């Protein structure tokens, strides 16, 4: 257990705030470790090692490899779950609008169950939804035949498809950025990969006619602004026409064979997997085919935008120097074991999880138990279809009792790999794809 000084610091400030303000100063305050920010390696002195080991209640066999300024995974566990109707174990980050993530160990299923799909809302969901009379209007400058569809019309006129599709919030992992970025402080759980059923977006667009000058497809939903002002849209984003025309971009009415949960977009939503979840509009009631980049709410920088070139942490970045986020980066998640579990060091431990890479496929997933000094490959399963995540599995065996962290690092088909530490800082804390890690007590 932490000593009195450490307990006081953690009670008054909190470990995430301490490390968020200055991770290297936090190392010094909590453990007495002197470290160099530029090298990210701060070898623990004997006294520092004893302090951290005492707080963990065990030795740290690979302490010599532990990066400086890193919160031990045992102290960075997910918070307590709140109760959300129809959801199981999600952790609420915000209640107006509702935003809630799923602890990593609850994402262990190959196909994400409806009750464990994360929630990322920008507005307040509609009430008293009547799916039988719900309509989707398709129009815009580059739409040749504006048309209105009921859900029954969509089901009768177009081919029905079911695809497993991965959705991730662009800010997933925001809590690890230093200095802190504004917005929901997601850890790792704003991601999921259920099976969506609906019709291809391109079939609907082609039925309505798409002009040669079409550039973008934007969406509008029936959710209302948190202010209650009916003239304000909480969000209205979209995708370039090429993304809209992909076989995997769909208009969905079902998730895992059931109605889409209300908080996830019931009764109709757009799904454009591999890009930030904000492009997949919920409570969908209008699509516009634009002859320019869509200019709806949260399309302009700094929303869902990152600097065009690397910037120093804490920099002010002009909007004109930002670009819209498109394909998400390579990433992985350890879903078993649960962080903080105890394990007999003499026994092998199964390790498994998921990996994904935006519009691309995963080529390999590697595991480390010595803070990234060495890496071992895992068995990687193929995706159910394009833009679904891929599951992986392996095993590890710990050489001696002590504190360990299991790190996962994925690589995509283009050879791009996850960084071991948080990647380049950006003002809104998007695209954190640092290696996921879980704590294990080998006894």
* Residue pLDDT, tens place only, 162-189: 999 999 999 999 999 999 998 999 999 9
Regarding predicted confidence, which is higher, 176 or 55? 176
Angle at 253 (CA atoms; ends 251, 257), nearest 5 degrees: 125
- Please enumerate in sequence order all residues whose Cβ is within 8 A of that of 133, keeping only pairs 6 or more positions apart, or say none: 150
Longest dimension (CA), the chain: 74
Q: What is the pLDDT averaged over residues 213-217?
A: 98
List the one residue out of 127, 161, 146, 190 whose CA is nearest residue 252: 161
Residues in the chain: 443
Residue 264: the pLDDT is 98
Burial of residue 416, with CB atoms counted within 10 A of its CB: 0-12 exposed, 13-18 middle, 19 or more buried: middle
For residue 39, pLDDT over 50 is answered with: no
| Distance from C-alpha of 110 to C-alpha of 132, rounded to nearest angstrom | 32
Element containing residue 56 per DSSP (H, E)? helix 46-56
**Residue with structure tokens 């994904």?**
356
The string of pLDDT tens digits covering residues 100-123 is 999 999 999 999 999 999 999 999
The string of pLDDT tens digits covering residues 231-264 is 999 999 999 999 999 999 999 999 999 999 999 9
Regarding predicted confidence, which is higher, 25 or 12? 25
Residue 438: the pLDDT is 97
For residue 364, pLDDT over 60 is answered with: yes
Per-residue confidence band for 27, with pLDDT thresholds at 50, 70 and 90: confident
Q: What is the pLDDT averaged over residues 56-60?
A: 78
Q: What is the pLDDT averaged over residues 405-425?
A: 96
| Distance from C-alpha of 168 to C-alpha of 388, rounded to nearest angstrom | 11
Per-residue confidence band for 78, with pLDDT thresholds at 50, 70 and 90: very low
For residue 321, pLDDT over 50 is answered with: yes
The dihedral sign for the CA sequence 29, 35, 39, 41: negative
List the one residue out of 434, 404, 332, 422 whose CA is nearest residue 20: 422
Question: Could you give the percent of the chain with pLDDT greater than 70?
Answer: 89
Q: What is the pLDDT averaged over residues 337-350?
A: 96
Peptide bond into 57 cis (omega under 30): no
Per-residue confidence band for 82, with pLDDT thresholds at 50, 70 and 90: low
Per-residue confidence band for 55, with pLDDT thresholds at 50, 70 and 90: confident
The string of pLDDT tens digits covering residues 372-401 is 999 999 999 999 999 999 999 999 999 999
Structure tokens at 340: 């903080």
Predicted structure pTM score: 0.87
Question: Rounded to 5 degrees, what are φ and ψ at 206?
Answer: -65, -35
Per-residue confidence band for 13, with pLDDT thresholds at 50, 70 and 90: low
Element containing residue 164 per DSSP (H, E)? strand 160-164
Regarding predicted confidence, which is higher, 302 or 68? 302
The string of pLDDT tens digits covering residues 260-290 is 999 999 999 999 999 999 999 999 999 999 9
**Torsion angle defined by CA atoms of residues 190, 195, 200 and 204, in that order, rounded to the nearest 10 degrees:** -80
Question: Rounded to 5 degrees, what are φ and ψ at 286?
Answer: -160, 135
Q: What is the pLDDT averaged over residues 183-204?
A: 97
Strand order in the sheet with 119-120: 91-95, 98-101, 119-120
Burial of residue 358, with CB atoms counted within 10 A of its CB: 0-12 exposed, 13-18 middle, 19 or more buried: buried
Pairing of strands 284-290, 135-139: parallel
Question: Could you give the percent of the chain with pLDDT greater than 90?
Answer: 80
Is the Cβ–Cβ distance between 352 and 335 less than 8 Å? yes
What secondary structure, in 3-state letters, does 215-267 show?
CEEEEEECCECCCCCCCCCCCCCEEEHHHHCCCCCEEEEEECCEECCHHHCCC
Per-residue confidence band for 428, with pLDDT thresholds at 50, 70 and 90: very high
| Cβ neighbours around 375 below 10 Å, total | 17
**Residue with structure tokens 């995430």?**
16
Per-residue confidence band for 44, with pLDDT thresholds at 50, 70 and 90: low
Is the Cβ–Cβ distance between 175 and 184 less than 8 Å? no
Please report the domains of the chain, with CATH numbers, ordered by start residue.
4-66 (no CATH), 91-324 (3.90.420.10), 331-442 (2.60.40.650)
For residue 29, pLDDT over 80 is answered with: no
For residue 409, pLDDT over 80 is answered with: yes
The string of pLDDT tens digits covering residues 147-165 is 999 999 999 999 999 999 9
- Please give the mean pLDDT across all residues of the chain: 91
| Cβ neighbours around 404 below 10 Å, total | 29
Residue 40: the pLDDT is 47
Q: What is the pLDDT averaged over residues 80-92?
A: 81
Burial of residue 22, with CB atoms counted within 10 A of its CB: 0-12 exposed, 13-18 middle, 19 or more buried: middle
Burial of residue 309, with CB atoms counted within 10 A of its CB: 0-12 exposed, 13-18 middle, 19 or more buried: exposed
Structure tokens at 76: 């960075």
The dihedral sign for the CA sequence 227, 233, 237, 238: positive
**Residue with structure tokens 């690092």?**
409
């Amino acid at each position: 257990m932490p000593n009195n000084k450490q307990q006081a610091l953690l009670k008054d400030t909190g470990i995430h705030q301490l490390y968020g303000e200055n991770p290297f100063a936090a190392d010094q305050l909590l453990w007495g470790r002197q470290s160099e920010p530029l090298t990210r390696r701060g070898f623990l002195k004997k006294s520092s090692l004893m302090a951290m080991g005492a707080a963990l209640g065990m030795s740290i066999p690979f302490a010599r490899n532990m990066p400086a300024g890193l919160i031990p995974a045992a102290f960075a566990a997910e918070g307590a779950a709140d109760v959300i109707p129809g959801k199981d174990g999600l952790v609420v980050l915000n209640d107006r609008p509702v935003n809630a993530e799923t602890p990593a160990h609850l994402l262990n299923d190959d196909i994400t169950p409806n009750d464990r799909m994360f929630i990322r809302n920008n507005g307040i969901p509609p009430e008293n939804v009547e799916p039988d009379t719900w309509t989707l209007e398709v129009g815009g400058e580059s739409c040749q035949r504006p048309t209105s569809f009921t859900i029954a019309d969509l089901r009768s006129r177009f081919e029905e498809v079911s695809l497993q599709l991965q959705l991730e919030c662009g800010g997933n992992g925001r809590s690890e950025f230093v200095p802190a970025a504004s917005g929901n402080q997601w850890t790792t759980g704003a991601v999921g990969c259920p099976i969506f059923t609906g019709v291809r977006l391109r079939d609907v667009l082609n039925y309505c006619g798409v002009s040669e000058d079409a550039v973008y497809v934007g969406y509008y939903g029936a959710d209302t602004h948190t202010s209650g002002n009916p003239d304000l849209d909480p969000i209205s984003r979209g995708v370039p026409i090429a993304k809209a025309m992909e076989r995997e971009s769909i208009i969905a009415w079902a998730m895992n064979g059931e109605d889409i949960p209300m908080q996830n977009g019931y009764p109709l939503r757009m799904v454009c997997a591999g890009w930030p979840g904000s492009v997949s509009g919920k409570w969908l009631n209008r699509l516009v085919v634009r002859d320019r980049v869509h200019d709806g709410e949260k399309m302009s920088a700094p929303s869902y935008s990152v600097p065009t070139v690397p910037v120093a942490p804490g920099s002010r970045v002009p909007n004109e120097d930002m670009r819209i986020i498109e394909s998400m980066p390579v990433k992985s998640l350890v879903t078993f074991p649960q962080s903080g579990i105890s394990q007999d060091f003499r026994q092998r431990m199964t390790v498994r999880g998921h990996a994904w890479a935006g519009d691309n496929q995963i080529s390999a997933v590697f595991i480390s138990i010595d803070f990234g000094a060495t890496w071992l490959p895992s068995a990687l399963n193929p995706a159910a279809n394009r833009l679904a995540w891929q599951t992986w599995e392996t095993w590890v065996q710990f050489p001696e009792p002590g504190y360990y962290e299991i790190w996962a690092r994925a690589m995509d088909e283009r050879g791009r790999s996850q960084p071991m530490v948080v990647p380049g800082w950006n003002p809104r804390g998007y695209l954190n794809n640092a290696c996921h890690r879980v704590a294990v007590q080998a006894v």
